[in-house]
Amino acid sequence: MAHELPPLPYGFDALEPHIDKETMEIHHDRHHKAYVDNLNAALAKHPEQQDRGLEDLLRNLNSVPEDIRTAVRNNGGGHHNHSLFWQIMGPNAGGAPSGALAQAFEKLGGFDQVKAQVKANGVGRFGSGWSWIALESGGNLWLGSTANQDSPLTDGRTPILGVDVWEHAYYLKYKNLRPAYLDAWWNVVNWAKVDELYRKAGGR
């Protein structure tokens, strides 16, 4: 079964003024679509890999045939990362988390400290990549970044929030000012969704 580009769960202009409509159109319809298309093209070379779920592929990259492993890592990662990214953003969002996730953030110094660390990890990622909040297998939160389209799944972590720091995510509006993009980005975070992912991943 071919992997499919998920529809954006809101309009292209829904995240204005923080993320502009044109960026969203290009990002979803071209960049994300290309990851899906390239993932399917790679898997077509090994039909027995086509029925594996995306999480399975990324969590167990070593079991993917070597000649397509890099393509699956990059494009499968790109597909999974962006699918999460669209979900954890939304219109009329922002604010602060509540419930179990807010309590978990307290153990890391509180919400402001977590935001500062996610920003620092994003600013500090040289070149392209992602800044993450993920769960370790033991249930503890992990704040960190990955290069390119590498997924935290490949390191045994379950991502619950990721912010894309590739230039294509912000360059039209913010130019080279990645820190300004990261500051504005908190206004579009759907914390109810992040909390849901936290609990699904076994956070407590």
Shortest reach from residue 109's CB to Mn ion, in Å: 29
Which of 92, 103, 71, 91 is closest to 11 using CA atoms?
A: 91
The rounded distance, in Å, linking the Cα atoms of 150 and 163 is 13
DSSP 28-96: IIIIIHHHHHHHHHHHTTSGGGTTS-HHHHHHTGGGS-HHHHHHIIIIIHHHHHHHHHHHTB-TT--S-
Nearer to Mn ion, 49 or 87 (CB): 87
The rounded distance, in Å, linking the Cα atoms of 178 and 185 is 10
Q: Which of residues 55-84 bind Mn ion (CB under 5 A)?
A: none
Q: Of the ranges 2-10, 56-64, 139-147, 162-170, which one interacts with Mn ion (CB under 5 A)?
A: 162-170
Nearer to Mn ion, 10 or 111 (CB): 10
Shortest reach from residue 27's CB to Mn ion, in Å: 6
Binding of Mn ion by 164 (CB under 5 A): yes
Shortest reach from residue 82's CB to Mn ion, in Å: 6
Shortest reach from residue 144's CB to Mn ion, in Å: 18
Nearer to Mn ion, 164 or 195 (CB): 164
Q: Which of residues 7-26 bind Mn ion (CB under 5 A)?
A: none
The rounded distance, in Å, linking the Cα atoms of 69 and 73 is 6
Contact criterion met (CB below 8 Å) for 55 and 153: yes
Nearer to Mn ion, 166 or 191 (CB): 166
Shortest reach from residue 32's CB to Mn ion, in Å: 7
Nearer to Mn ion, 82 or 157 (CB): 82
In the bound state, the residue with its beta carbon closest to Mn ion is 164
Sign of CA dihedral 167, 132, 157, 146: positive
Q: Of the ranges 51-59, 95-103, 158-166, 182-190, which one interacts with Mn ion (CB under 5 A)?
A: 158-166
- What does the block give as tokens for 111? 């919400």
- 172: Cβ–Cβ under 8 A, 6 or more apart, which residues? 20, 22, 23, 26
Shortest reach from residue 78's CB to Mn ion, in Å: 7
Nearer to Mn ion, 49 or 128 (CB): 128
The rounded distance, in Å, linking the Cα atoms of 118 and 61 is 26
Footprint on this chain of Mn ion (rule: CB under 5 A): 164, 166
